[in-house]
Structure 1
Amino acid sequence: MLTPDTHIESPERVQITVVIPVKNDAVELARCLSALRLQTRLADEIIVVNNASSDASAKVAIAAGVTVIECSEPGIPAASSRGYDLSAGDLILRLDADCVPPTSWVEHVEAAFADHPDVAAFTGGAYFIDGPRPLRAVLSRIYLLAYVLAAAPALGHRPLFGSNFAMRREAWHAIRSAVHRHDPELHDDLDLSFHLGEHHPVGRLGGEPMGISMRPFRSVISFRRRMYRGFRTVLVHWPHDFPPSRWYRLATQRP
């Protein structure tokens, strides 16, 4: 029974860290950080991992008052992993420097984890903010659907999308020694999907989609590189994660 003198402890506030790997994206990073300042729920920590940029990316991050970490080892896997390792938040949110998050992004992520304490990671949708305007919506749907259809059979579950995902810090700590952080020719989000999804449920993040750039698809060379890295990420996990073997493990080890 509560009395006027009863002291009710309020739950501790969840700490949230946003990690942004960057390499030579000063203009885009400034736009991204501006959008993060407009969030309905501000992040407690923003870490920009400067992956040997030769432009003003680091200066932009410093001017914005966020934490800047240097990573000289080439590749997004190394830069992202370093950011996750040094995150202080209970929840680690990830987006790219050329992303523009909706104002409710951080708030929706926090609510999703609060509503689903059994889920270790969430991943959300996206839409193109540049490129031919009439094609943006349809191309973004095709791109994300193709990614899911290509990755899900190899994983046996929903893949994480590197421009819009979040995970619990303890989930990262459980698998950080297993990820291929030293291989720059892998897709870090797909690699992370293999390791997180092995033991932890991956949920879908609702709310508004993330604004992303169409830049990686504007040249044949860039598109081929992304395709190569995708296939290579799958193959480096074989034979341990050969689909029938992985599907069987997931079906038998999860409640």
Structure 2
Amino acid sequence: MSTFSVVIPSYNDADMLRECLRALAVQTRAPDEVIVVDNGSTDDTSAVARAAGARVVLEPERGVLHATAAGFDAAAGEIIGRLDADSRPLPDWVELVLARFDADPTTDAVTGSGTFYGCGAFWRFVGRRLYLGGFFLFVSVFIGRTPVFGSNFAMRREVWEDVRGRIHLDDPRAHDDLDISCVLDPDTGVDYDRDLLMPVSARPFATFAGFQRRASWAFHLLGVNLREIPWHTRVLAGAAGRRRRRKRQRAASGISPRSVPASRE
């Protein structure tokens, strides 16, 4: 089985981080390393991480894209997982993620959606069906491929090394998951697993101003990437990439069409 690193960017999220690390400590398949990227926190984020046995990487340049890049660069695993400090991975999260990669050599990244805690039934529905459901549907239409969700994804190390030079580190409004999704090579096999759900906090809905800021940054970053590679080019390249992946799946030793996990790619 592949080696697995988990990267968690954190900025002043010590309390939530503590719970995330507790959830990682009881995984049915323990990660080979956990890296917490302290993105200039003024609370005890680093102390909480070290107390839980995590490796701390300091990234003073503020911004989640900078923090994610620093963590991914430092990771030693063949597969690099990405969680947020408010993620609460279920006990079999690592095991399920690795099983997807080990079952299909053409799988380059795996992602799933989320469920929200800390809110009522109405906001749980809005969060999962409209907020995250809209993210996957809307972004996939615009970039011609399935995006990855920052609180719940993993990718092969070589995929990160390929996209590292194309992400927009100089853009202070860049979301890491959206930017990575936009710059992935068309041949990258991204699997969306409907069963790979991640509990995350409902803080995106805490204030309208915060929600509006997140949305404006997302539209901004989509615009940046679509100016570099137009929509129609992305869609055609994505379709061609999926066709080539299906050929690789058929040709892969020991992989038959029936044994390949279903994917939205």
Q: TM-score under structure 1 normalisation?
A: 0.91
Q: Does 1:29 align with 2:17?
A: yes
Amino acid at match of 2:28: T
Distance in 2, matches of 1:139 and 1:173, equals 32
Partner of 2:2: 14
1:174 paired residue among 162, 166, 191: 162
Q: Does 1:188 align with 2:173?
A: no
Amino acid at match of 1:159: P
Aligned sequence identity (%): 40
Deviation at residue 226 of structure 1 after TM alignment: 0.5
Deviation at residue 246 of structure 1 after TM alignment: 1.4
Partner of 1:219: 207
Partner of 1:53: 41
Map 1:57-206 onto structure 2 (within 5 A). 57-133=45-121, 135-206=123-194
Q: What's the CA shift string for 1:58-78, capped at 9, x where partnerless?
A: 110011111000000010000
SS at match of 1:237: helix
What's the RMSD between the two structures over aligned residues?
Answer: 1.5
| Distance change in 2, residues 1:35/1:203 (3 Å) | same
Partner of 1:245: 233
Deviation at residue 94 of structure 1 after TM alignment: 0.4
Amino acid at match of 1:218: A
For structure 1, which segment, 244-253 or 141-150, has the greater mean C-alpha deviation from structure 2 after superposition?
244-253
SS at match of 2:225: coil
Distance in 2, matches of 1:236 and 1:208, equals 30
Distance in 2, matches of 1:112 and 1:179, equals 26
SS at match of 1:179: coil
SS at match of 1:150: helix
Deviation at residue 252 of structure 1 after TM alignment: 4.0
Deviation at residue 135 of structure 1 after TM alignment: 4.0
- Could you tell me whether the CA contact under 8 Å between 2:108 and 2:159 is conserved in 1? yes
Distance in 2, matches of 1:162 and 1:80, equals 10
Q: What's the CA shift string for 1:169-217, capped at 9, x where partnerless?
A: 0111111111112323111101100122533021113534100011021
SS at match of 1:163: coil
Query: Which structure has the greater CA radius of gyration?
Result: 1
Amino acid at match of 2:92: S
Q: What's the CA shift string for 1:19-73, capped at 9, x where partnerless?
A: 0000000000000000000100000000000000011111100111110000000
Distance in 1, matches of 2:212 and 2:122, equals 24
Amino acid at match of 1:30: R
Partner of 2:260: none
Distance in 2, matches of 1:45 and 1:147, equals 30
For structure 1, which segment, 199-208 or 188-197, has the greater mean C-alpha deviation from structure 2 after superposition?
199-208
Distance in 2, matches of 1:122 and 1:196, equals 13
Distance in 1, matches of 2:110 and 2:53, equals 27
Q: What's the CA shift string for 1:127-175, capped at 9, x where partnerless?
A: 0011124542453222111112220111101111110000000111111
Structure 1 stretches of 4+ with a deviation exceeding 3 A read 251-254
Q: What's the CA shift string for 1:69-122, capped at 9, x where partnerless?
A: 000001000000110011100000001001100100000000000112101101
Q: Which consecutive unaligned segments of at least 5 residues does structure 2 have?
A: 245-265
